[in-house]
Amino acid sequence: MKKSKGELIFSIVNKLVLGIIALVTLYPFVYVLSASISNGEAVAAGQVLLLPKNINFSAYGKVMEFRGLWVAYGNTIFYAVVGTATCMFFSVTGAYALSKHRLMGRKFFTIMVTLTMWFKAGTVPEFLNFRSLGLYNTRAVPIIGFAIVAFNVIILKTYFESVPESLEESASIDGANDLRILASIYLPLSKAGLATVALFYAISKWNGFFWSMILLRDENKVPLQVLLRKMIIEMNATSEFSDAVEMARLGYSVETVVYATIIISIIPMVVVYPFVQKYFTKGTMVGAVKG
Amino acid sequence: MLKIKKNIYRDRYLYLLLAPMIIWVILFKYKPLYGLQIAFKDYSLFKGIAESPWVGLEHFKTFFTGPYFYRTIRNTFLLNLMILAFGFPAPILLALLLNEIKNLKYKSFVQTATYLPHFISSVIVAGIVINFLSPSTGVINIIIERLGFERIYFLIKPELFRGIFVGMGIWQEAGFKSIVFLAALAGIDQQLYEAARIDGASRFKQALHVTIPGLLPTIMIMFIIQIGNLVTLSFEKIILLYNPATYETADVLGSYVYRVGLVDAQYDLAAAVGLFETLVAFVLVVGANKLSKHLTKNSLW
């Protein structure tokens, strides 16, 4: 097909605009990385705009020494792994039952679950509910407190419904019960769906902060995000990093320590993200179409 | 009757599988609804929900006549209007531009880059914003000074809060939200474009007469969903970014509920404000749905 001059210009401008958008989106990450490995004074003097200046890793050394950060990091990994497993157990079993059209009361239970997307009791009643269930200041909060997200259940249900029924019929003729059929037929055939939903849960465990912030009191229980809020937003923990003499000697500053902390905490996400991106894209579309 | 029993027995394992989910939903989603009654009670932790005395609409009165009613309502609406005006079209525009790119590698580079901030936690995104805008060491102010202007105290100026907040939202979410619109664009019948080309429609005309109408149902559905989420969802990000200096423009219903209820422990008053907030959100969704049904024949229900 021949392109007119106008279309050619449009195509070039379009590529240029999108390129700029992509670079503007990425710039904060590049800056944070560059600043975190630069000399603190150079950063303060505004000599770092894109590339690092007087490369210096002492900010990372300082962060490494901060024990609280690693406790929180360990907590987050624990919550992400155990929490995601818990979420998957609750969501997969329930979604599978809801995907069976022969189940009596299916409609009622489906509505009961999906309604929770819109009807929320609100922050305070939910907070009091956590207290009355005896979960206040326990590690159960990030694990079981948010075990089911209706949107994810819908995604799983959609995947299960797309498995041909004939497979189930032949298995049940062979005498397999529903538990066996789920484990040996449906789960292996829905791997893409399971991966997508597990990732959705894992990300929300990794990134969530609000409920952990208000329900977890002990410092050795809080996840990374709660500590990060203290460190990089309230600047509360920075007194540990503001010994002026040592700063000058080693070449870090409060800012470079903050930036190094940011880099250390987003590394897992940035490393894993390119590989799992396609699952998100798929899952979001399935959920949007069905939800 | 016998048949029902037989069916339940046949599906006993399915009910066993369903049970954990239903129990969880009741304990964590429906039981708190029972606790909502404290909005109408003089609640004390000591007496518990059931034993606390009723006070009728006392807490609503306190809120409606108090000094924060006008401020939080105004901020909730203005902030949400700005998100609708700027944050909502951004992913649509991005999807339209991405859709015109034929070079798949370039397209996937732009997609990967723009989806990325969605996966970074709000705490870190807000942390980056705060550090970048810092008057003394923030890179934005360094650039502003280089260009020969005065440094700006971004985060303590109430008049700048909304813009910063909306901008942060666009940076974080525009890319990821474009996925839904890209999917809708891919679903438009290619024959329509061919027919338009045969009729001599330019690319711009094709966009106007084929792309936009094809995208409209998705836009309307996302718009209604967005309105329902708006009122309640954004306060977790607001409390990361605001401070007493910017409460004047930043404090919304959700953040007020958080401060009154969870910081000051006035649970009953906060529950009342939260209930009011939910009602506002509900009215807005129903309204948006009706409007959309009337104007474009698309609706959630």
Classify residue B268: in a domain, yes or no: yes
**B:261-290 residues touching chain A, CB 8 A cutoff:** 261-262, 267, 270-271, 274-275, 277-278, 285
Tokens 């630069």 found at: A38
Residues of B in contact with A260 (CB under 8 A): none
Q: Is residue B131 part of a domain?
A: no
Domain that holds residue B198: 67-121+173-296
* The most confident of A172-176, A180-184, B221-225, by mean pLDDT: A180-184
What was the ipTM of the complex prediction?
A: 0.90
Is the pLDDT score of A284 beyond 80?
no
Nearest CA in chain A to B113: A22
Of the candidates B20, B204, B277, the beta carbon closest to that of A93 is on B20
The predicted pLDDT at position B149 comes to 92
For residue A2, name the pLDDT band (cuts at 50, 70, 90): low
Collect all residues of chain B within an 8 Å Cβ-Cβ radius of residue A4.
202
Task: Tell me whether residues B33 and A121 touch, CB distance under 8 A.
Answer: yes
CATH of the domain at B253: 1.10.3720.10
Q: What is the pTM of this model?
A: 0.90
Cβ–Cβ below 8 Å for B271 and A113 = no
The residue of A98, A110, A118, A123 whose CB has the most chain B CBs within 10 angstroms, and thus the best one to mutate to test that interface, is: A123
Q: What is the dihedral of CA A174, A179, A181, A182, to 10 degrees?
A: 180
Domain ranges of chain A: 15-56, 68-290
For chain A, what is the HEC assignment?
CCCCHHHHHHHHHHHHHHHHHHHHHHHHHHHHHHHHCCCHHHHHCCCCCCCCCCCCCHHHHHHHHCHHHHHHHHHHHHHHHHHHHHHHHHHHHHHHHHCCCCCCCHHHHHHHHHHHHCCCCCHHHHHHHHHHCCCCCCCHHHHHCCCCCHHHHHHHHHHHHCCCHHHHHHHHHCCCCHHHHHHHHHHHHCHHHHHHHHHHHHHHHHHCCHHHHHHCCCCCCCCHHHHHHHHHHCCCHHHHHCCHHHHHHHCCCHHHHHHHHHHHHHHHHHHHHHHHHHHHHHHHHHHHHHC
Does residue B200 fall inside a structural domain? yes
Positions in chain B short of pLDDT 70: 230-233
Q: Which residue of B has its CA nearest to A275?
A: B112
Contacts of A230 in chain B (CB under 8 A): none
Tens digit of each residue's pLDDT (9 = 90 or more) over B22-54: 999 999 999 999 999 999 999 988 888 888 999
Contact B123 A233 (CB under 8 A): yes
The mean pLDDT of A189-209, rounded to a whole number, is 90
B116 and A273 within 8 Å at the Cβ level: the answer is yes
Query: Residue A286's pLDDT is what?
Result: 67
Q: Which CATH class is domain A68-290?
A: mainly alpha
Residue B250 in any domain: the answer is: yes
How many domains does one find in chain B?
Answer: 1
Q: How far is B297 from chain A (nearest CA, A)?
A: 18
**Mutation site, B14, B202, B242, interface A, largest A CB count within 10 A:** B14
A116 interfacial to chain B (CB closer than 8 Å)? yes
pLDDT digits (tens, 9 = 90+) for B153-192: 999 999 999 999 999 999 999 999 998 899 889 888 889 8
Residue A201 has pLDDT above 90, yes or no: yes
Looking at the predicted structure, is the pLDDT value of residue A173 above 90?
Answer: no
Note whether B262 contacts A98, CB cutoff 8 Å: no
